[in-house]
Amino acid sequence: MPLVVTVQQDTESACAADLARACELLGLEPILLPRRWLGSERWMARATAPAGEGQGRTEG
């Protein structure tokens, strides 16, 4: 199963900014753009490794 990173924030703009940062730092692609999480006032977004790249970028 590929790596999936979830970002949660209090505002849509903060969630989008953190999603972009995670994608840049870890070599991920967004799979769920920021949206308000059901039953909560928080925003959530997700990203995963690009197809065929396993777990994203690794150091070493």
**Structural domain boundaries in the chain:** 4-48
Q: Which residues contact 33 (CB under 8 A, 6 or more apart)?
A: 16, 19, 45
pTM of the full predicted structure? Answer: 0.79
Cβ(18)–Cβ(9) below 8 Å: yes
pLDDT digit string, tens, across residues 5-56:
999 999 999 999 999 999 999 999 999 999 998 888 999 999 999 876 555 4
